[in-house]
Structure 1
Amino acid sequence: MDLVLPAWFEIGSLVVLTLILVADLLIVVKRPHVPSIREASLWVAFYVGLALLFALCMLLLGDAEHAGQFLAGWLTEYSLSIDNLFVFVIIMARFSVPRKYQQEVLMVGIIVALVLRGIFILLGAQLIENFSWIFYIFGAFLLYTAVNQAFGNHDDDSENGLIRLLRRRMSISTEFDGARLRTRIDGRKVFTPMLVVFVAIGTTDLIFALDSIPAIFGITTSPFIVFTANVFALMGLRQLYFLLGGLLERLEYLKYGIAFILFFIGVKLVFHALHENEVPFINGGHGVAWAPEIDTWTSLGVILGSMAVATIASIVKARIDARRRGHTLMEEVPHFTED
């Protein structure tokens, strides 16, 4: 069943979300700083509350099914965005980005991610509308991604081929000049390492967009829900980065929780493709009767359960390791402070 919401709600939601993102960007540009734990906590709570309020509006103006699809999609994208933060931490450390300017880097990363995901959402919606067999490809891709997430090598690969090409072809200084992309050294204009950081963030966003869009299309095919779930997942990501701080590195089992979610959605997509099958060489082009359709609320339960188990297991493991070293977990977690 297609989602039917009042036009004023859809248009108004997109306008409000755009204004919030613009306001957030202006705050970063006009007052670059390292948020305190309290400030970051309030912002994260605000964005989470906003997402829950949006789900409530969808429930009242639409129905429980699509409100549940938004929640499941938002939580899936949020978990993948947290995984994205791990890579951001590596990039920030790899290029020694001054903490004062990390907000600007994160904000650029979020904007690039929104643009890329918007493009992939439009492409994905068109593919789904015209080629039902695309669910087989989406499902297989997610199954591969899940296995790679759980067992692949996740070492720092921020120095990728594109960045190496930039370093060979362009004059790049060794020192940052605030958040500027270009600076002047000995009367000659050169690029700063901030350009390399932005390229690393952008290529990372591209990879994660390729993962996240098939994942959420496994939950809902509504472009409006897909896009808003992505926006809400990315909003507050900057503050979440500073709130979690060094704790991200302690969430050892989080990648397995995310891998399980991706694997589950991949299986769900394959089942859906079999159920709606039109591929001639599979069951003569007819739907496969035994293929179950996994409902939204089951998906929501699996997503919540996976993240809860992975997070709790990671915290317990971190506490045990900390006690063995004679420290508490909070003593070992570095906190961001003002420079």
Structure 2
Amino acid sequence: MTVSPLVWGITIILIVALLAFDYFFHIRKAHVPSLKEAAVWSSLYVGIAIVFGVLVWVFGGSAMGSEYFAGYITEKALSVDNLFVFLIIMASFKVPREDQQKVLLFGIVFALIARTGFIFLGAALINSFSWIFYLFGLILLITAGNLLKPEGDDEGGEADNFIIRLAKRFFHTSQNYDGDKLFTVENGKRMLTPMLLVMVAIGGTDILFALDSIPAIFGLTQNVFIVFTATAFSLMGLRQLYFLIDGLLDRLIYLSYGLAAILAFIGVKLVLHALHENTLPFINGGEHVPVFEISTGQSLTVIIGVLAVTIVASLLSKAGKAQTAINNARRHAESYLDLSYTADPAERERVYNLLLEEEAQIVQMDKKYRDKAKDVDKIRAQVDEAHRQHAEFLSR
């Protein structure tokens, strides 16, 4: 189905309006969103995406609607995985909690711009070279394999990539934040703040994410309008989702396996499609290969099924529960001990209460699961120090 320029225009205006609304009504005043605020707005954005999908189904037909929902669910799952990296980057740079919303919104806007560029580039390549499906399929299969690799002992959480090192070397960078400003003045000199470096790091990772996510959705549909809208709406509300499931991300211990299965499945689907459309002379003499092709309905069923199994298995896992509670205790202790985390005393008290809640859960868990946690002795020392400092604060 060909989408008219009018529909394209209305859709783009809607997306830009939602981003502008998010900035002017939520981001301009730095604050830590409450759980209720995050839940309401996250649900609203998911609702808008679903309503849009229903409209696509009604006016574009069931095939187009199925492609949209398959693409949206896949991109949303990949976006949740991206939140892990955003969390690591902001923890590495010690971004104050109340300023993290602006970083996330910048990441969403940059991701949308970067992925839009990749979408139109991918569409042009597909229209010109049918063999590009082989390349897209290979990218997804390699990505799936990388997701299954065990994490190394290196400091993967350090957001000190090549771009950041260049920025630090050639530009004057302050050591401290100045609210959410990108530039500050120290000793009469204009300098970059760490906030700008964080945004550079987020932007760099967004480009890498696009290299995986765009081939994935092109494996489900080649309709550029569907690819664009499913990608855009999957990114909308990601900021609110970050604060809503912050602390629960560690709980999804099997998410990487689920995403690996989905990406491998789509990779195989792309290779089969490439064989069906084959024009490469060294494969079947340049003729099409009669192979089984996976339908959009089958893709949607597999994607939903894999995600459901992954989430349920993660939530029911005793080892996952213990690891999550211990990781959360460590994170809350580090946040409490880090004076640059926030200037809001109420937020610090909230973090300390969360630490107490995690400790209460840990005590009730089986010791064999508690002792399996990585760096458990170091985490215990951090928790003890948080208690000591809080007791000292109360005694003043």
TM-score with structure 1 length normalisation?
0.92
- CA deviations on 1:35-57 (whole Å, 9 max, x unpaired) are 11111111111111111111111
Q: What is the match of residue 203 of structure 2?
A: 202
Q: In the aligned structure 2, how far is the partner of 1:266 from the partner of 1:177?
A: 45
Aligned with 1:104 (options 96, 102, 105): 102
Q: What is the match of residue 234 of structure 2?
A: 233
- CA deviations on 1:205-237 (whole Å, 9 max, x unpaired) are 010011110110000001100000011000000
Q: CA deviation at 1:321?
A: 5.2
Q: CA deviation at 1:245?
A: 1.0
Q: CA deviation at 1:9?
A: 3.5
Q: What is the match of residue 219 of structure 2?
A: 218
Q: CA deviation at 1:144?
A: 0.4
Q: CA deviation at 1:305?
A: 1.1
Amino acid at match of 1:179: D
Aligned pair 1:307/2:307, yes or no? yes
Q: In the aligned structure 1, how far is the partner of 2:323 from the partner of 2:134?
A: 47
* Matching of residues 238-317 of structure 1 within 5 Å: 238-289=239-290, 291-317=291-317
Contact residue 216 and residue 226 of structure 1 kept, 8 A: yes
Contact residue 275 and residue 288 of structure 2 kept, 8 A: yes
User: Number of residues paired by the alignment?
Assistant: 334
Q: CA deviation at 1:27?
A: 2.3
* Matching of residues 1-339 of structure 1 within 5 Å: 3-5=1-3, 7-151=5-149, 153=151, 155-289=156-290, 291-317=291-317, 319-320=318-319, 322=321, 338=347
Q: In the aligned structure 2, how far is the partner of 1:100 from the partner of 1:252?
A: 27
Q: CA deviation at 1:184?
A: 1.0
- Going from structure 1 to structure 2, the CA distance change for 1:225 and 1:6 (only over 3 Å counts) comes to same
Q: CA deviation at 1:330?
A: 9.5
Q: CA deviation at 1:10?
A: 3.5
Amino acid at match of 2:316: V
Contact residue 250 and residue 315 of structure 1 kept, 8 A: yes
Q: 1:151 is paired with a residue of what secondary structure?
A: coil
Structure 1: 5+ residue stretches without partners: none
- Going from structure 1 to structure 2, the CA distance change for 1:5 and 1:162 (only over 3 Å counts) comes to closer
Contact residue 250 and residue 323 of structure 2 kept, 8 A: no
Q: In the aligned structure 2, how far is the partner of 1:224 from the partner of 1:198?
A: 28
Structure 2: 5+ residue stretches without partners: 336-341, 349-396
Amino acid at match of 2:132: I
Contact residue 130 and residue 274 of structure 2 kept, 8 A: yes
Larger radius of gyration: 2
Q: In the aligned structure 1, how far is the partner of 2:119 from the partner of 2:292?
A: 26
Q: 1:183 is paired with a residue of what secondary structure?
A: strand
Amino acid at match of 1:281: F
Larger relative contact order (CA 8 Å, sep ≥ 6) = 1
- Going from structure 1 to structure 2, the CA distance change for 1:310 and 1:321 (only over 3 Å counts) comes to closer
Percent identity of paired positions between Structure 1 and Structure 2: 48
Q: 2:148 is paired with a residue of what secondary structure?
A: helix
Q: In the aligned structure 1, how far is the partner of 2:36 from the partner of 2:10?
A: 30
Q: CA deviation at 1:32?
A: 2.0
Amino acid at match of 1:142: L
Q: CA deviation at 1:174?
A: 1.1
